[in-house]
Structure 1
Amino acid sequence: MSSLRIVLNFQVEFGVLTNLFLLVFYTFTILSYRPKPTDMISCQLTFIHIVLLLTGMDIWLRDIFGSLNIDNDFKCKTTFYITRVMRGLSMCITCLLSVFQAVTISPSSSLLARFKYKLKHDLIYAFLFIWSFNLLFNSTRIFYAGAFTNVSETNQMKVTKFCSLFPMNYIIRALILTVAISIDLFLVGVMLASSVYIVIILFRHQRQLKHLHSHSHLRTSPEKRATQTILLLVVFFVVMYWVDFIISSTAVLLWMYGPVTLSVQQFVMNVYPTITPLVQISSDSRIINMVKHMQSMCHQIFKKR
């Protein structure tokens, strides 16, 4: 368990640092230059992943609540609520990113083309709806979460080291699970549908360029690079979602979470927010050019010395 805990801590620290770098980059880009609409979406996704990584390991909330002597039950409810909200936001924003890119690259003759300019101007409303929905929907769950106690342990299901879910009415539990799974399946379905559409569009572009004997334009196209990045992110998310879904569903059915199961599930949940900034950094030409420029400046400085 100690080695697994070290891996988890390294995963969180590395993920937070890379996401912080991206958050600073997107913030300066949005404030200083003419940002792309995807920059606004990616900036929110980066912020969400920072909070998700920190709350998942219960690092900063534990320090804050510990210094303020706040009740463990309140701390547990707050941590559980924030984690669920951030997980839902991560899924919704990733879905929005894939849909936005599908609309952006759609040809002018397609049905999606009519939403191209409308979606850009209505992004703020999409953000407000996504945040409001996740904040409200997950608020019902905090009533069934609380600090773990040694009393009636068989009636509690540990979801973190110090937090557990208490028994609830079977109908209420079934209703919450049904609605939550339905929403998740809908969002994953939209992601997959938009990804398939994107692949079809890229395949058609590839065939047209082959016909025109102009391969180089497609390879250096920033639009294609951004599209491939989003496709890769969607694939990562869907795979990690189903692995997490299988683990959590098995635990809920058995009404039992072991320490190893908790750690493995935490590792799986952290993979997507940790991998996402690496994919974005490696595929964004602006970041690559910025790093190259900084390297050349450092080289000139050392050369003068």
Structure 2
Amino acid sequence: MDGLVFANLNWAIVCLIETSVGILGNSFLFCMYSYSLLTARGLRCIDVILIQLFLANDLVLFSKGIPQTMAAFGLKDFLEETGCKVVFYLHRVARGITLSTTCLLSGFQAMTICPTLPHAPGCMESKIKSLKCLAFCCFLCWAMNLLINTHNIMNVSGPNNSRNMSIQNIYRYCSAPVAKGLTFTLLAMLYILTDWAFLGLMAWASGSMVLLLHRHRQRVQHLHSRSLSPRTSHEARAGCTVLILVSIFVSFYFLAALLSFWITQALSPSPWLMNTSVLLSLGFPTFSPFVFLFSDTHIYQLCFVTWTRKTNI
């Protein structure tokens, strides 16, 4: 019994650390890029996508990481039926937005690299049009995911409301009946088609970037580094950052999907399996902001500008 309590405490601490680190990282970058957007200091079109990505990551951590941590520390019935519906709905929406936004980010970066490598500077008018287009795409991401996940509001209930626990999928703090028959088939097809459509576009954009960067490297490897355009070097570095981000997303996505399928097929999944599934589902929102913290020099420029303004006041 003591060993089980100790294991639960260890799991709760790990979940708390992962959730806290992820929220701090995403919140910091959300504030920095929002500052850039509101003040138009060093404004980039990609900042609109990054703001949405960090916001979606925070929503995932708040809607799943915090409730899972509270449940792991032994708190029970801290969410009533309405709270369960709201939390679970927000988690599903945020998860979908994270997927679609990562796809949008990889596609945008691929289209940015294409004209940049041969060197074709854009004008301010095209940047404004791109900004409006990106804002509209971000709006579509929210509208689509808010609509697709409406069925979760009706299905999710509090853990104490389940009459037959054998047909319930328990999330420690909430429960949802496992759909069967035609309903299950339609919902499964809806999620699979949308997820694989975004993953397919993400793979196409990432493959295009890899091919373009490889060709660019072969083309300029015989030239001196000083002959390279600073803009070309910046876009190539940004493309590598997005490729790393996509790789992390795909890795956590498939591992979490594999464990989720294993859990749904098991009659009584082990606590270790459930805990590992939660950690994997929170992996990308936690680690993705640090990819930008260590690779995007624009963040340090924003920090320097902010610090300079404060000291001059």
- TM-score under structure 2 length normalisation: 0.82
1:72 lines up with 2:80 in the alignment: yes
1:98 Cα shift?
0.1
CA pair 10-77 structure 1, distance change in 2 beyond 3 A = same
State the partner residue of 2:30.
Answer: 23
1:175 lines up with 2:186 in the alignment: yes
State the partner residue of 1:148.
Answer: 159
State the partner residue of 1:39.
Answer: 47
State the partner residue of 2:199.
Answer: 188
1:281 lines up with 2:289 in the alignment: no
1:82 lines up with 2:90 in the alignment: yes
CA pair 136-287 structure 1, distance change in 2 beyond 3 A = same
Q: What is the rounded CA distance, in whole Å, between the counterparts of 2:275 and 2:14 in structure 1? A: 10
Q: Which runs of 5+ in 1 are unaligned?
A: 63-68, 297-305
RMSD between aligned alpha carbons? 3.1
State the partner residue of 1:203.
Answer: 214
Q: What is the rounded CA distance, in whole Å, between the counterparts of 1:223 and 1:207 in structure 2? A: 16
Q: What is the rounded CA distance, in whole Å, between the counterparts of 2:115 and 2:182 in structure 1? A: 47
Of residues 49, 62, 68 in structure 2, which corresponds to 1:54? 62
State the partner residue of 1:12.
Answer: 19
Which aligned pairs between 1:103-142 and structure 2 lie closer than 5 A? 103-107=111-115, 119-142=130-153
CA pair 91-256 structure 1, distance change in 2 beyond 3 A = farther
State the partner residue of 1:250.
Answer: 262
Which one-letter code corresponds to 1:232 in the other structure?
Answer: I
Aligned-partner SS, 1:157: strand
Instruction: Note if contact 1:30-1:39 (Cα within 8 Å) is conserved in structure 2.
Output: yes
Of residues 233, 237, 241 in structure 2, which corresponds to 1:229? 241
State the partner residue of 2:3.
Answer: none
Q: What is the rounded CA distance, in whole Å, between the counterparts of 2:189 and 2:22 in structure 1? A: 32
1:129 Cα shift?
1.2
Q: What is the rounded CA distance, in whole Å, between the counterparts of 1:175 and 1:273 in structure 2? A: 28
Q: What is the rounded CA distance, in whole Å, between the counterparts of 2:277 and 2:50 in structure 1? A: 25
Aligned-partner SS, 1:162: coil
- TM-score under structure 1 length normalisation: 0.84
Q: What is the rounded CA distance, in whole Å, between the counterparts of 2:179 and 2:37 in structure 1? A: 45
Q: What is the rounded CA distance, in whole Å, between the counterparts of 1:89 and 1:108 in structure 2? A: 28
Q: What is the rounded CA distance, in whole Å, between the counterparts of 1:221 and 1:229 in structure 2? A: 13
1:170 Cα shift?
1.4
Which one-letter code corresponds to 1:50 in the other structure?
Answer: D
Aligned-partner SS, 2:149: helix
1:191-243 Cα offsets, whole Å, 9 max, x none, are 11110100111011111111334377379822112111110000000000000
Of residues 158, 169, 184 in structure 2, which corresponds to 1:157? 169
CA pair 146-256 structure 1, distance change in 2 beyond 3 A = farther
CA pair 26-109 structure 1, distance change in 2 beyond 3 A = closer
1:150-186 Cα offsets, whole Å, 9 max, x none, are 632112111x212112143411011101210121111
Identity %: 28
Q: What is the rounded CA distance, in whole Å, between the counterparts of 1:104 and 1:49 in structure 2? A: 24
Which one-letter code corresponds to 1:178 in the other structure?
Answer: M
Equivalenced residues, count: 286
Q: What is the rounded CA distance, in whole Å, between the counterparts of 2:110 and 2:187 in structure 1? A: 31
